[in-house]
Amino acid sequence: MSLRKLAALFLVVALLGVAGAASAVERLSLATGGTAGTYYPIGSAIASIINKYVPGVEVTAESTGASVANLKMLRNKNVDMMLGAANTSFAGYQGLPPFDDKPVKNIRGIACLYPEVFQFIVLENSGLKTIYDLKGKKVAVGGAGSGTERTAKLVLEAHGLTYDDIDEQFLKFGEAVTALKDRLIDCAIVGSGLPTSAVVDVSTTLDIAMLSVDEKVMKPFLADKPYLMLYNLPSGIYKGVDEEVLTVASPAILSCDESLSEETVYKITKALFEHTDELAAAHAQGKNIKLETALSAMSVPLHPGAEKYYREVGLLK
């Protein structure tokens, strides 16, 4: 064989090798949220960690409409992984509204991330002191069908209030805070990571207060709701909030399609918790992503790959 033919053969083999290596990359999509929220930067940081530390896996973080939209995309196999509120993910898996027409049975949990805290914000001079005082008031309960709206409705019901007792306003949290500033509503219910920038903004221009939930009614109410937990909003988190406020929280969770292999999800989970410092550097909520709370309110079945990792590190026995 001539040197020219031999060189050509080597070139073909090399190109085939490169093509084979490229085809071996597992490309995954991660549904997050809007670019102005928390899901997108956290999701982008998670994707970056996976791309850096899990050989053969390439993840792209996609900006989306957040929890409800992500669950529908996961159900329809349009994405491989997603971020979503634990309460909304629970509703998706169980087939509760807005998923009662078609549940999301293919969702599997990887990790609970940071707490999304439900904040009942009022103006300090409103005279409103407790959740019970919201009877007959204009209350922004979240976008229709959103995780915030579902949780707001539950908390109100625990205190004996239904939508028949309030003038509910279906506003997203940015709209709700603006409406509160304009005194168009009496209370804005916001479910978000802390501190919430929109709430920080309103607290610098207006005197605000936070309503506490009633611990006596909430403890038994939450007993059968694994996706919710009592949470103490720390004093000083916002201007004017000078005491701890008892409320509820539902963690954001990282989930995936059940079809992902055990080995891939194991490596993803391992990489995530071995590099939490990079999450903390990427976003303020990153510092709240900790191994010890990875299963704190897991509301969907755990993926076998994640379970393998948690058993390896002793989080599961």
- The CATH code of the domain that includes 46 is 3.40.190.10
Q: 161 is written with which tokens? A: 């209030």
pLDDT at 21: 47
> Over the stretch 175-197, which tens digit does the pLDDT of each residue have?
999 999 999 999 999 988 888 88
**Same-domain pairing of 142 and 94:** no
Per the prediction, the chain carries an average pLDDT of: 91
Residue at which a domain ends, from 202, 223, 250: 250
By three-state DSSP, how is residue 13 classified? helix
pLDDT at 271: 98
How far apart CA 154 and CA 250 sit, in angstroms, is 12
Q: Do the domain assignments include residue 182?
A: yes
Which range among 29-38, 39-48, 227-236, 256-265 shows the weakest confidence by mean pLDDT? 29-38
Residue 245 has pLDDT above 50, yes or no: yes
> Over the stretch 4-31, which tens digit does the pLDDT of each residue have?
555 555 554 455 454 444 458 999 999 9
How far apart CA 30 and CA 33 sit, in angstroms, is 10
The set of residues, in sequence order, having a beta carbon less than 8 Å from that of 273 and lying 6+ positions away, is 111, 291, 294, 309, 313
In this prediction, residue 1 has a pLDDT band, given cuts at 50, 70 and 90, of low
How far apart CA 136 and CA 174 sit, in angstroms, is 23
Q: Do the domain assignments include residue 55?
A: yes
| Total structural domains within the chain | 2
**Same-domain pairing of 227 and 101:** no
pLDDT at 19: 47
Residue 284 has pLDDT above 50, yes or no: yes
**Same-domain pairing of 245 and 121:** yes
pLDDT at 296: 87
Residue 35 has pLDDT above 50, yes or no: yes
**Same-domain pairing of 164 and 229:** yes
Q: Do the domain assignments include residue 4?
A: no
**Same-domain pairing of 89 and 38:** yes
Q: Do the domain assignments include residue 183?
A: yes
**Same-domain pairing of 224 and 298:** no
Q: Do the domain assignments include residue 317?
A: no
Q: Which domain holds residue 166?
A: 116-250
